[in-house]
Structures are given as C-alpha cells and as structure tokens.
Structure 1
C-alpha cells in the first residue's frame, strides 16, 4: 500500500502538532500494515526529526516541498504515471484552513482526483487515525483499544450528504449499511437527500412518526453551512459527503466551508467523499463492532 503524505506547517512546527499526535497514535498500526509513504520534503524532515518512525525509513520516499512541485507529483501519482510503477492508493493531506496554500490548485486537485479515482483523501487527524484502524481490521488484526473513541457511534452524529448525481449511490449505501448507520446517536443531512433517506428508513420499519435523519436546508440554500456549524460545535463527528466532481457547483463556497470546518476541528471530525471509500469503511466498522461485541 502506497500513500501520499503532506502536512501544512502548523501541523508539524511544535512537538504536540497534529502530525505527531497522529503518528503517536497510529505508528504501531502503520508498522503492522507496512504502508509506503511518498512525503513532501518538510513533512518528511519533521517526521525524521521527531524520531516517531525510526527504523521505518525504507518505506518513506522524500519528495520536494510543495512550492517546488512535491504536491503536484503526489496528485499525478494518484492518477498514475503511464509506463511507470508510480501509483498511490490514496493521500493524507493534513490541511490548515488558515494557510493560503490550502487554496492552491494542487491542493484542490489532490482531493478531486482522489474522489474521481475513488481513493481515500484524508485531511484530519481523526480521519487519519480511523483510516489506519480500518485498514488494520481489513488486514485481520485485532481492534486497537486506542481507537475505541472513534467507534463509539452511539455518542456521535454522522452527516449524510450527496450531490444530485450521487443521491442514488447514497441511498444504496445507506440501504446496505442501515444497521451500522442507525447505531449512531443521530444523523443529519441536507434537504432532498434527507427526505429520500427518511423514506428509505420508513420502508425498512423505522417508526414513521420519527425522522431517521434530521433534515437541514438544501446545499444551495445553506445546508452545508448549517452542518459546518454543527461540526465546529463538535456536535457532528463524521461527514459522508458523496461529491460529484464532474459538474460546476454554484454553491462551491458552501461545500468548501464544510470541508474547512472539518479541518478546523481536526482531532474531532472525519470526512469521506467517495462511495468506494465509504463502503470500505463501513464494512470494516461492522467487522470491528462484531469482534468487540463477541
């Protein structure tokens, strides 16, 4: 498994920065999985200085800093380089919403290409921890008790959002993993998607006098902003947001607002934006729950 890894400076400048919080929690799992990383120069140097991956150097490939094309190379490798064995399985990009570099084209392109190619795009500490635990479960390792907080779904709220072309995929995803999603303390979503999911839940026997999902405004009318507020208040811990990367979106700023809110509370929120990634997460979460409860 090969992943791109890059972190904005705020996430590695101090010993308790986000990059190091993630590595302290997940380094044992990374070693178990043997993940190979293609890493931006300054992120690589920060990891080396920290000593948190000592002995792991053979699995770390140092790329130029973003200003010298390192992030662009990672974007290209998400797509794949013709005739070369250079293709990444996903990317971890710990974003700083206040860093102007997070608005650069290569940052947006990295996420877009991950969505198009149905690969993980991980942008927060919570999501990075959860990704390692999910891959550990798929690899057959026992659940890590250190990740139990991520899977205390009864105390969490999950947002379920889908663009028009993806609403059918969202309905299918919810139908396939209805029990898992019903185990969350609450569910929230934007207008049309929420209506469709409530109708699905009622058809599955959910009490008709009780909404399965709390409906906010539609995305173009501010629903994404309303959910962003819940995220910032730490009242929404997960967002499953099936984006359509092939159409122009008039409310693009609202979409970015939600994504930036997730990154602002990096230890407390995770977001998935591709159907294949969400399915892989759900299957692992179900398997983990079964093992823990056995």
Structure 2
C-alpha cells in the first residue's frame, strides 16, 4: 500500500503539529501495515528530523512542492503504468488559510482521488480513522487508542451527496443502515435527507421520527449550515459523495464545508468516495464484534 503524504507548513513546523500528532497516534499501525509513505520534500524532511518513524524503510522523499512534488503525487494517484509509480491514495494535511491549499495541484490531488475511488485524507482524525480501518481489515485487534473515533452514540454524522451520487448514497445507507443508526444524530442537506428518511421509514424506522435531520439543499445553504455544525464541534463525521465531473454553482459552499473540516482537524472525519465509505462501515462492524 502506497500513500502520498504532504502537509502545509503549519502542520509540520513544530513538534506538536498535526503531522506529528497523527504519527504518534498511528505509528504502530503504519508499521504493522507497512504503509509506503511517499512524502513531498519538506514534509519528508520534517519527519526525518524528528522521532516518529525513525529508520522506517517505506518512507520515501519526493521533490519539494515548488519543484513539482505535489504534482507528482497527482500523477501517481492516476497511475503511471507500474506499481512503483501508482499511489493508493493521499494524505494531505491542509491548513485552510495557507494559499498553497488552493493551488491547482492541491485541488487536482483531491479530485483525482475522488475520481479513482481512492482515499483523500485531509485531517488528523480522518488519517487516524483510516489507519484503524485498514488494521481491522488486515485482521489486527482493535487499537484502544482509536476508541474515541468509534464512540458513535456520542457523535453526529453528516450524509451528503450530489445529484449523480444520490443513488450511491441511498444504496450505501441501506446496506449499512445498522451502523449508521448507531450515531446519536444524522444530518444532511435537503433532497438527500428526504430520500434517506424515506429509505429509513421503509425499513421500519418510526414514521413520526426523522432518521436524518434535514437542512437546506446544498445550493440554498445546506453545506454552510453543516459547516457551522462542524466548527461548533457538533458534527464529528461527514460522508460526502461528490461528483467531480460536474461544474457546481454552489462550489464556494462546498469548499466552505471542506475548509470547516480541516479547521477542526483533530475532531472531524471526512470520507468522499463510496467504496471507502463502505470499507469504513464494514470495518466498524468487524471492530464492534472483535
């Protein structure tokens, strides 16, 4: 498994920065899984100069960002014809006020991960959650250090899907209804929320209760309303099935939600691809039975 790795300066410039908080929490799992980390220049240098992952042979250095390092990650997420030049996803710890986070290569990295059904991980919580998910699928016993991520009865889950992805969201929610129903609350935007409620009622959910609390539709501000919940630490996980092929009039609202998630990087988990969401839900079920 090969994962691209980059972090904006804020997230690697001090010993307690986001990159190192993740490495301290997940180093055991990274080593157990043998995850290949293909790190852009300064991110690699920051790791090499500190304790985490010392003498880890699967850590590789790519050029600095201004020398094309992030562009190379994008190309290798797409795939360059050989296993050695193909990445299985990307971790990019984003500082939402760093101008480089909206450079074309940064936007393309996420877009290509979504298009190719690969994980795009932009927060510490998502990175921790992903390592634990892969550990569970590999047959390792649950890590008690990840229990906070799986305390669903105290968490709020946002379920959002663009028009072309709504059938996939409905299928995902129906297949993993029992896991999703464990959350203290579920929230969503207008049309998706209504269709999910109808699905839940058809499965026996009480008709006088919403399975998912609906905000406005995305174009009318629903994404912004959910972003506010994230910023207030009242939404801990978002499953957001994006359609990367369609120009969207409310693109700014979508970016607002994404920036909110990265602002509370240690608390918010965000999944953007249907196959990754299904893999997470399956791991959650396995973990609960372990």
TM-score of Structure 1 vs Structure 2, range by shorter chain: over 0.9
Give the drift of 1:84. Answer: 6.7
Q: Render the CA deviation track for 1:103-161: whole Å, top value 9, x for unaligned.
A: 10000000000000000000000000000000000000000000000000000000000
Does the alignment pair 1:7 with 2:7?
yes
The whole-number CA distance in structure 1 between the counterparts of 2:29 and 2:280 is 16
Relative to the length of structure 1, the TM-score reads: 0.98
In the TM superposition, what is the alpha-carbon distance from 1:247 to its structure 2 partner?
0.6
1:241 aligns with 2:215: no
Cα offsets for 1:55-93 (capped at 9, x unmatched): 20x211100111110000000000001357310000000
Q: Number of matched residues?
A: 290
1:197-242 CA-to-partner distances (Å, cap 9, x unmatched) read 0000000000000000000000000000000000000000000000
Match of 2:39 in 1: 39
> In 2, Cα distance between the equivalents of 1:104 and 1:188?
31
How far apart, in 2, do the equivalents of 1:51 and 1:145 lie?
22
Aligned to 1:50: 50
**Alignment CA distance shift 1:131-1:84 (3 Å):** closer
Map 1:160-175 → 2, pairs under 5 A: 160-175=159-174
- Give the Cα–Cα distance (whole angstroms) in 2 for the partners of residues 19 and 61 of structure 1: 16
Instruction: Show CA shifts across 1:235-271 (max 9, x none).
Output: 0000000000011000000000000000000000011
| SS of 2:208 mapped into structure 1 | coil
RMSD in angstroms over aligned alpha carbons? 0.7
Query: Is 75-84 or 31-40 further displaced after alignment?
Result: 75-84
Deviations 1:275-294 (A, max 9, x none): 01111111101110111xxx
User: What's the secondary structure of 2:16's corresponding residue?
Assistant: coil
- Specify the alignment match of 1:119 in structure 2: 118
1:46, 1:61 → 2: CA distance? Answer: 13
* Partners of 1:189 and 1:176 in 2: CA distance: 18
Q: Aligned runs of 1:137-148 on 2, under 5 Å?
A: 137-148=136-147
Taking the aligned partners of 1:127 and 1:84, their CA distance within structure 2 comes to 25
Query: What is the Cα deviation at residue 273 of structure 1?
Result: 0.7
1:88 is matched with: 87
Q: Report 1:1-294 matches (<5 A).
A: 1-56=1-56, 58-82=57-81, 85-291=84-290
Q: Distance in 2 between matches of 1:271 and 1:250?
A: 22
Query: TM-score normalised to the size of structure 2?
Result: 0.99
In structure 2, runs of 5+ residues without a counterpart are none
Distance 1:119 1:217, change over 3 A: same
